[in-house]
Chains A and B, each alone.
Chain A
Amino acid sequence: MRHKDIERLIQRKLDGDLSPSDSARLNKHLAQCSDCTSFYREITQTTNLVRQLHEFHPSAGFNARVLAGLGVRRRFAWSKTGIALAGGWIAALVFFCYSSFPTQILGWLTTSFPSIVRFMDKVELVGESFSQVLTPVLKNAWSNANPVIGLVFSILFVYFLGKALQKEEKCKA
């Protein structure tokens, strides 16, 4: 049979508030009583294993659901978009600088659509008038640095646009 007073001591031991003298009393009793020892072993093992119970998780969209419930708008991943846009821009630059494809396209367009040629002539005329205003040095420098400047401006544009939009994101409660 189990002893009630010892059972209380076992419970207090599991609570973590057993005095050294009571602990000694408990150990002394356990050394003599098999029923209480068996109870002590079982209840300790059970409560210890409770700590290792599995953790359950809510469904996959739980965070989004809570954030939507709060009116928190999810931020657009500007850093990733910026990298993607910059990468795309570099690829486009390389393609148009080193490939004959743009020239072929242009040739095909001018032969197939004469109206484009007339339009381009007008654009060229405006462009030439504009370029005559600029000094040759500046003109040269600009044409040489054109892709680099374009690239730098593109990256800066995407970066600052992303930053500005991030600051604008307001969380609505």
Chain B
Amino acid sequence: MISRKEIKALIEKAVEHDESACTKILNLYKGRIFSYVFRMVRNYHDAEDITFETFIKCFKSLASFDTSKPFTTWLFAIAHNQTMDHFRKHKITFEYLDEFHSSSDDLAKEYEKKRKIEQIDQAISQLPPLDRELIVLFHKEENTYQEISEIMNIPVTTVKTRLHRARKRLHDLVCKRPKKE
């Protein structure tokens, strides 16, 4: 885990478009950003394009970044906005789509950690985009409510209530329970 001081030093160099600093930032965050975007759009090429645009935007507006704030929150906010732009461009409604909830996959019953993780990943991909994003940002990326609120530009209370709903939906999908809402 990189310290805040180290990331600040990297940012100062990357503002000048120092190749080594830019590469370090890319190596530190491209996996997390790509995974997040990929789980949102579920298409490798689209995910790579969105991740590319995210980093281009990040480096170009790095000079305006307030270094007293967490860099990851800012970076994830850019990725979120880029993903939303992608959804808008492809006319994908970013809301709760209940038809996504009918899981037809034959999920393994036995408990094996690896299999279970795959199963959860599969279940996450079946969640509506908003639920998926909240689950990934809170449980995978371990952001706080406040950070998620800043990334997604929605109130903290909304984050909380929607996360509860998303979590329950994920549980229902993983445990093959029909939606009761």
Q: Which residues of A contact B (CB under 8 A)?
A: 7-8, 11, 14-15, 39, 42-43, 45-47, 49-59, 62-63, 65-67, 69-75, 169, 171-173
Contacts and interface: CB of A to CB of B under 8 A. Distances in A.
A54 B118 CA distance: 8
A70 B56 contact: yes
B22 A72 contact: yes
Interface in B138-157: 139-140, 142, 145
Contact of A65 (B52, B142, B160): B52
Contacts of B126: none
B117 interface: yes
Contacts of A66: 22, 26, 52, 55-56, 59
B75 interface: no
Interface in B96-127: 113, 116-117, 120-121, 124
A50 B135 contact: yes
Contact of A11 (B22, B35, B48, B164): B164
Interface of B: 16-20, 22-23, 26-27, 30-32, 34-35, 38, 47-48, 51-52, 55-56, 59-60, 113, 116-117, 120-121, 124, 135-136, 139-140, 142, 145, 160, 163-164, 167-168, 170-171, 174-175
Given A50-B124, A50-B135, A69 B56 contact: yes
Is chain B's interface secondary structure helix, strand, loop, or mixed overall?
helix
Contacts of B56: 66, 69-70
A63 B27 contact: yes
A57 B28 CA distance: 12
A172 B113 CA distance: 47
A7 B56 CA distance: 43
Given A51-B139, A72-B22, A39 B171 contact: yes
A75 B142 contact: no
